[in-house]
């Protein structure tokens, strides 16, 4: 199953969720109506007699030897007569309104995606310039995993008040995720175990689980909220003084309604846990398997699960989360976050022993615990600063500079879609080399503000000195002379900012840039566009940088749009524009490359558009519409893009940048494809 099939499966799971949700709502409405009917009888007893027709029907039932049916007819006839039908209709309408309103409120509360979830769980954002060695190690692991996966580096959070070992990833799209871990995970796991946990969470990012998980939070809140109303009613009536007989009767009826609503709350909780367990458990097995595949180290993930087992019990927190929202968000976490009855039926996660057995058959618990590196192993490198951290984290890259520059081959032209979302150990090794090759001043600038903004502007500076002079004036006018000096100093310290570093640095800078208010994000994007147009033209590299940053920083970036187009033929003109840009980016026969791309896309042959007609606005508009393709329509577009790029037999930096920009726009994580970052030896 590839990335696109995982996305489609997640959507099918959403439809299954809707069915279960409707069944739960129907059950809740029935119970509420029964309680309202009984309360009405208590408050208004007696009103009218049971109709004669109902009595006759009950008598006939007794003659048939069915006293139970007779009793049911009499009770039903009484309730239907005593309780007007409009009461039941009103009760049904009000119950549905409360459930829907509570769900919509929770969905709105989570509109910001992963950051909203992190805030509700009391997680604190980790600064890219944190001096805590444990946090620096966590950042290092997340950065290397994100670069390997081809997604923006997610903002990282720590739940400092949680001593248990746990973690989660949350968001609406792969490039808009956040990753959070508990303080207990930081302190009790060594680097290999922590990497296993982060690999598990990146599987949720790549497999389409996050969006479904957030929808679960919003949808299930509505069916639990009715019970909270019942609790509120009972608390309000607890100290109410006695009054007349009629007042007492009404108060008793309200108490009854409150009790019924509390019962409904437990019913809602039952359904919520059942739905979460039905959807989450198999996904945890898949995430475990993918996490091992990513890191090529089953002992790391199995060891993390073993640490949870070792920390569980009377004096340990295990993976327990103490936050008030732990129940409603239990399906998000790496481990079981709440203890519950009937855990075999309602647990959102499989048993630890079963997970370990699947990850590492024959796992020797005693031997592993005796030989495992301690959590503090290697921390001195992270405490020493960024240079030592790079040496510790990227030891595998020591000989990277001497390696011959090559492109990672995907084989046939359908290989690009297969590479999307398929993070593997080779990609993680490559990410280490990528990060290790970037000069430390640039890497450090990307991790915080204002350095990340300065770096984004520095990457937009032109190679021509006269153009750079005009660009400096634009920066000074927008941000002041001090910022302009910092931007140009970064460019100089980075050795002219090699083109092959642009996308990795952009991915590193996005977490800091996303922390800016939207007005400042918009201002930065406007400044970047003015720099790109300083010479009255926009180059391909400038277009790539602008598009990449716009996808991550524009308003509403946290929520991907709903699919509007089911087939690529619906956007044939836009696909032609994009494929023409890729055909012109190569060094071979442009017309031949374009024809091969159209054939791969299944589109009608056409003449290649002139390069001058492919303006920034035209290409940008085409990408905006193409990002609205349904998941299963995207592989054909990516396959066609690769056909255009590989037509001359060489992957050039410009083509790779475009491929990754297209993939990022479509929210399709594409791992790095350049093995070496030696700018002097890469084809431009």
Residues annotated as catalytic (active site), given as ranges: 201
Segment (H or E) for 170: strand 167-170
How many other C-beta atoms are found inside a 10 Å radius of the C-beta of residue 63? 9
Q: Which two tokens stand for residue 542?
A: 């400038």
DSSP string, 585-628: HSSS-HHHHHHHHHHHHTPPP-PPPPGGG--HHHHHHHHHHHTT
CA dist 543 and 546 (Å) reads 5
Residue that has been written with the tokens 């207990």 in this structure = 184
Residue that has been written with the tokens 């039905």 in this structure = 278
Q: Which two tokens stand for residue 287?
A: 């995430």
CA dist 560 and 556 (Å) reads 8
Report residue 182: phi and psi, to 5°: -80, 160
Q: Are 329 and 398 in contact (CB under 8 A)?
A: no
Q: Are 300 and 196 in contact (CB under 8 A)?
A: yes
CA dist 679 and 684 (Å) reads 9
Q: Are 264 and 31 in contact (CB under 8 A)?
A: yes
Q: Which two tokens stand for residue 401?
A: 């500079």
Q: Where in 13-82 does DSSP place strands (E)?
A: none
CA dist 597 and 646 (Å) reads 10
Gyration radius from the chain CA atoms: 30
| Residue among 589, 574, 579, 577 at smallest CA distance from 647 | 589
| Parallel, antiparallel or unpaired: strands 178-182 and 156-159 | parallel
């Amino acid at each position: 199953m590839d990335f696109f099939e995982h996305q489609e499966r997640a959507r099918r799971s959403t439809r299954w969720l809707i069915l279960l949700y409707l069944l739960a709502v129907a059950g809740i409405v029935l119970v509420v109506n029964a309680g309202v009917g009984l309360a009405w009888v208590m408050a208004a007893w007696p009103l009218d007699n049971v109709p004669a027709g109902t009595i006759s029907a009950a008598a006939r039932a007794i003659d048939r030897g069915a006293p139970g049916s007779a009793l049911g007819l009499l009770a039903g006839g009484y309730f239907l007569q005593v309780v007007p039908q409009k009461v039941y209709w009103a009760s049904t309408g009000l119950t549905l309104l409360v459930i829907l309103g509570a769900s919509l409120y929770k969905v709105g509360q989570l509109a910001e995606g992963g950051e909203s979830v992190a805030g509700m769980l009391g997680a604190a954002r980790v600064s890219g310039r944190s001096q805590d060695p444990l946090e620096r190690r966590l950042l290092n692991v997340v950065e290397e995993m994100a670069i390997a996966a081809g997604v923006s580096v997610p903002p990282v959070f720590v739940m400092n008040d949680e001593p248990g070992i746990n973690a989660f990833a949350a968001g609406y799209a792969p490039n808009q995720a956040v990753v959070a871990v508990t303080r207990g995970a930081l302190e009790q796991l060594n680097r290999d175990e922590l990497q296993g946990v982060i690999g598990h969470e990146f599987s949720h990012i790549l497999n389409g689980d996050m969006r479904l998980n957030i929808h679960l939070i919003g949808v299930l809140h509505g069916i639990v909220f009715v019970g909270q109303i019942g609790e509120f009613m009972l608390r309000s009536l607890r100290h109410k003084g006695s009054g007349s007989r009629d007042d007492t009767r009404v108060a008793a009826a309200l108490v009854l309604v409150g009790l019924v609503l509390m019962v409904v709350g437990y019913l809602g909780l039952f359904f919520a846990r059942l739905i979460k367990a039905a959807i989450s458990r198999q996904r945890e097995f898949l995430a475990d398997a993918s996490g091992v595949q990513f890191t090529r180290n089953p002992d790391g993930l199995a060891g993390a699960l073993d640490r949870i087992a070792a920390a569980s019990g009377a004096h340990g927190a295990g993976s327990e989360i103490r936050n008030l929202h732990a129940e409603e968000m239990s399906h998000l976490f790496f481990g079981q976050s709440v203890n519950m009855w009937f855990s075999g039926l309602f647990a959102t996660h499989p048993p630890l022993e079963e997970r370990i057995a699947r990850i590492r058959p024959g796992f020797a618990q005693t031997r592993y615990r005796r030989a495992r590196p301690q959590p503090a192993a290697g921390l001195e490198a992270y405490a020493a600063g960024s240079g030592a951290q790079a040496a510790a984290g990227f030891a595998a890259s020591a000989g990277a500079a001497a390696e011959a520059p090559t492109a990672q081959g995907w084989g046939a032209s359908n290989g690009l879609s297969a590479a999307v979302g398929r993070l593997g150990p080779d990609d993680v090794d490559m990410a280490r080399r990528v990060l290790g090759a970037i000069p430390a001043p640039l890497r450090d600038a990307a991790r915080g503000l204002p350095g990340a903004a300065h770096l984004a502007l520095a990457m937009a500076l032109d190679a021509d000195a006269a153009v750079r002079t005009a660009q400096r004036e634009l920066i000074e006018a927008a941000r002041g002379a001090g910022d302009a000096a910092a931007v140009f100093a970064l460019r100089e310290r980075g050795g002219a900012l090699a083109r092959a570093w642009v996308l990795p640095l952009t991915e590193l800078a996005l977490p800091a840039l996303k922390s800016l208010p939207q007005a400042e994000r918009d201002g930065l994007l406007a400044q970047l566009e003015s720099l790109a147009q300083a010479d009255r033209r926009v180059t391909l590299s400038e277009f790539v940088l602008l598009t990449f940053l716009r996808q991550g920083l524009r308003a509403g970036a946290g929520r991907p749009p709903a699919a509007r187009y089911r087939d690529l033929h619906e956007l044939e003109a836009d696909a032609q524009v994009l494929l023409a840009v890729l055909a012109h980016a190569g060094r071979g026969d442009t017309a031949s490359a374009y024809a091969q791309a159209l054939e791969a896309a299944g589109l009608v042959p056409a003449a290649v558009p002139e390069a001058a007609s492919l303006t920034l606005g035209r290409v940008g508009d085409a990408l905006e519409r193409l990002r609205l393709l349904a998941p299963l329509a995207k592989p054909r577009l990516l396959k066609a893009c690769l056909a255009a790029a590989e037509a001359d037999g060489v992957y050039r930096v410009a083509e790779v940048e475009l491929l990754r920009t297209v993939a990022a726009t479509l929210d399709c994580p594409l791992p790095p494809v350049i093995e070496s970052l030696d700018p002097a030896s890469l084809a431009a």
